[in-house]
């Protein structure tokens, strides 16, 4: 006499559990490292804004030419400029934003968070 299992076999059950566990682990790692990641993004945006501002408004190069000066690891930082204010904005999508502007003989300086809020 053979016994028949009344429940159908779910071949996808274990792979789904494994994928869910991996997603949970990756999410936990992201939450655990979020502060470090956001600070690195802020640092990269600030550095890139300052360098691009100097390139654009001190050296007089185009912004497209200045984009080639990015350091390795800052490829995710996007740049845009405001020629009227002589400002360069750098941002890491959804994480950080920074701006630098040319101020007379001081060269390019980073905007404070308050100035950045007013500039947007």
Cα–Cα distance for residue pair 64/66, rounded to 1 Å? 5
Asked if residue 2 belongs to a domain, the reply is no
Q: Encoding tokens for residue 21?
A: 């566990």
- Confidence tier at 92 by pLDDT (50, 70, 90): very high
Q: Which percentage of the chain shows pLDDT scores above 90?
A: 55
| Structural domain count of the chain | 1
67 in any annotated domain:
yes
Alpha helices in the chain (DSSP H): 13-53, 63-66, 113-119
Global pTM?
0.75
Which residue range(s) make up the domain with 59?
13-119
Tell me if 7 is assigned to some domain: no
Residue 1, pLDDT above cutoff 60 = no
**1 lies in some domain:** no
In a domain, 107, yes or no: yes
């Amino acid at each position: 006499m053979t016994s028949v299992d009344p429940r159908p076999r779910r071949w996808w059950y274990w792979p789904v559990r494994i994928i869910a566990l991996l997603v949970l682990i990756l999410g936990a790692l992201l939450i655990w490292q979020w502060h470090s990641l956001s600070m690195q993004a802020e640092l990269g945006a600030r550095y890139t804004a300052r360098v691009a501002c100097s390139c654009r408004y001190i050296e007089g190069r185009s912004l497209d030419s200045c984009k080639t000066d990015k350091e390795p690891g800052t490829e995710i930082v996007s740049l845009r400029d405001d020629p009227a204010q002589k400002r360069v904005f750098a941002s890491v999508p959804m994480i950080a934003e920074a701006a630098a502007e040319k101020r007379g003989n001081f060269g390019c300086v980073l905007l404070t968070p308050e100035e950045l809020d007013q500039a947007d």
